[in-house]
Amino acid sequence: MSWRLVTARLNARFRTLRLHRRQYRSDLTTGGRCTMAAEVEHVRALVKLIDQPILIVGHSSGAVLALEALASMPGAFAGAVLYEPPCVIGPPLGGTALARAQAAMDAGRPGRALAIFLRDIVQAPASAAWMSAAAVPLFPRMRRLAQHQLDDCAAIDEVGIELEAYARIDVPVVLLGGERSPAHLGERLDALERVMPNTERVRLRRQGHAATSLAPDRVAEVIAGLGDKVMRKHSR
């Protein structure tokens, strides 16, 4: 999910950095998919270069990466905005659906693989899953994206249940969700809210899982609100 529209609304007030996640880097030849642990090391390297308070923001699997970074680097971040991280809170995120999607991909059917991923894992409406699948043959980028999405889901499943580690994250965290998002994403936010000690829950009315593209002003407003609070605290 691109953050370009959101960061464009924040650049006048904050220094913003958009991380191109290694899981989605087609130019890297690492010999396979990237683990969350490897991506955390990418974040760690970036943190070392920035000599000021950092607010980490992530959407979907990127928010799982943010959670892992927060847990792995206590004291490195001043706060976080987590937009619907599909963290594991019980059964695996992908499970048998991921196996079916990967089988379709291996059989040369990336559209079918993406449809399974969106319908059965993301739990997007069947119509949206079908339209995305239909577009795959037309756009090479979407064919590549399908495998990246499956690899990302597998990486989340490998992380497993980490609620105990997330409960030790004590910086201010906004748990952001959409009113129209799939129910399981709200349930994962509920689980995080129960265990994390310093959270604020924000729900975007009439939005779902794609507000970074469909309502960037509102997402930027949430981030700026926490950013202002964090900057005031660190300027005292």
Q: What is the full per-residue pLDDT of the chain (236 aa) written as tens digits?
A: 579 999 999 999 999 999 988 888 877 655 567 999 999 999 999 999 997 889 999 999 999 999 999 999 989 999 999 999 999 999 999 999 999 999 999 999 999 999 999 999 999 988 888 888 888 888 888 888 889 999 999 999 999 999 999 999 999 999 999 999 999 999 999 999 999 999 999 999 999 999 999 999 999 999 999 999 988 777 66
- Tokens matching residue 52: 């000021």
Closest CA to 92 of 50, 120, 57, 113: 120
Give ∠ CA 68-221-57 in degrees, rounded to 5: 15
Give ∠ CA 91-93-99 in degrees, rounded to 5: 100
Q: In this structure, how many other beta carbons lie within 10 angstroms of the beta carbon of residue 41?
A: 14
Distance separating alpha carbons of residues 146 and 214, to the nearest angstrom: 22
Phi/psi at 70 (5° precision): -60, -40
Predicted local confidence at residue 136, as pLDDT:
87
Predicted local confidence at residue 57, as pLDDT:
98
Question: pTM (2 decimals)?
Answer: 0.94
- Tokens matching residue 57: 């923001």
3-state secondary structure of 80: strand
